[in-house]
Amino acid sequence: MNMNHPEKIEKLLNGTDGALITSPHNLRYFSGFAGGEGIALIGSDFRYLFVDSRYTEEARSEAPNFEVIEFKAGGLCAEINNRLKSCGALRLCFEDNEMTVSEYQRYSEKLTVSELCPIGDRADKVRMVKTDEEIERMRRAEKIGDIALGKTLPMLSAGIRECDIAAELEYRMRRLGAEGTSFDTIVVSGAKSAMPHGRPDEKMLEHGDLVTIDFGCVYKGYCSDMTRTFAIGDISDEKKKIYDTVLSAQLTGLSAIRAGEKASDCDRAAREVIESADFGKYFGHSLGHGVGLKIHELPNLSPRSEVILEENMIVTCEPGIYIGGLGGVRIEDMVAVKENGCDILSSFTKELIICR
């Protein structure tokens, strides 16, 4: 994907002469180059992409609107300086949230610029509203997850290890065309399901367990994210109440998500459902987050967020209840914000499935 929209570039530059792009996700976003290792120099009327010989052909293929410059070991800054001189750029912005201190020191010492200006979160804000092509890639990634989870579901039974379920799910996503996983797959059962970011291990599923599976894949650079919670055999009335409460909160949150709404109000709508059921202290994280080339992007659907949602932002809706020693439930969908509501990108059922 090549994001050469002039208005996006101008928002990124914010009055500077050019932007030095060093992070893999922003390299891909602004140039189309997916190799990850390279530097882009972008201005209102120039586009340069610096790579070493391992990536020259890939860069020329994936970034046709950029002049690709191959640099030798130790020669990157000299090549950048040559282009800075030719285009007269003196004030560069850089990805301060992505660059290490040593990298910053190297560029500040060797580049012939008068000022290096931190971008802050400007690049993240530029990426918040997705194009139709981006949304379709994420819809495809979510579809891969839907199918893979359905094919993995028959494995869920007492005596199966969490790590085996995670491995099977990841294998099936790969077979369906995923480039990889969006993040480390979460499969947690029993008391471990009270850990929102717990890791699968050799623990075996047991009768009466809740099992939470949080996973996603990458398709053409873009991430998916979905969570479902299952039961292994019959579960207690308390666990069923927790599940029903989370489902109600999630549906309420989804109904609140629409263009023009304040992100914190969406969080509040779902949170009030959980609080009214006396589980408020067991919901410790935000309702959701943005997704795109990174699994966690802006905007955040948190109690403190001041963001007003816009059409074609992609966010998650994932309330949860987590009770130490007992277990937890989380249900998550990834959605596209629309004027009259939201478009849910996943289709997997949210009704409680009892696995025998």
- Kindly report the CATH number assigned to the domain that includes residue 153: 3.90.230.10
Buried b (16+ CB within 10 A) or exposed e, 282-309: bbeebbbbbbbbbbebbbbbbeebebeb
Is there a single domain that holds both residue 122 and residue 136? no
Tokens encoding 249: 């909160």
Whether 57 and 107 map to the same domain: the answer is: yes
Q: Which residues pair with 338 in a beta bridge?
A: 341
Indicate if 37 and 151 belong to the same structural domain: no
Please give the pLDDT value at position 194.
Answer: 98
> In this model, does residue 240 exceed pLDDT 70?
yes
Pairwise CA distance, residues 8 & 65, whole Å: 15
pLDDT at 3 > cutoff 90: no
- Same structural domain, 345 and 259: yes
Instruction: State yes or no: pLDDT of 67 exceeds 80.
Output: yes
**115-129 pLDDT tens trace:** 999 999 999 999 999
Q: Which residues contact 329 (CB under 8 A, 6 or more apart)?
A: 193, 210, 212, 229, 239, 242, 243, 246, 320, 321
pLDDT for the residue 306: 95
Q: Are residues 182 and 290 in the same domain?
A: yes
Q: What is the pLDDT of residue 2?
A: 56
CB atoms within 10 A of CB 5: 12
* Percent with pLDDT over 70 in the chain: 99
* Dist. CA 244–CA 250, nearest whole Å: 10
Residues pairing with 312 in the sheet: none
Same domain for 114 and 192, yes or no, is: no
Q: Is the pLDDT of residue 198 over 60?
A: yes
Nearest to 329 by CA among 210, 158, 190, 187: 210
Mean pLDDT of 143-168: 98
Cα-only R_g, the chain: 23
Residue 136, classified by CB atoms within 10 Å of its CB into exposed (0-12), middle (13-18) or buried (19+), is middle
Confidence of residue 108 (pLDDT cuts 50, 70, 90): very high
48 assigned to some structural domain: yes
pLDDT surpasses 70 at 4: no
pLDDT-based confidence at 261, cuts 50/70/90?
A: very high
Please check whether residue 281 lies inside any domain of the structure. Answer: yes
* 150/304 Cα distance (integer angstroms): 36
Same domain flag for 18 and 166: no
Cα 238 to Cα 14, 196, 244, 248, 257, distances in angstroms: 53, 19, 10, 15, 29
Q: Range of 342's domain?
A: 132-355
Model confidence band, residue 300 (pLDDT cutoffs 50, 70, 90) = very high
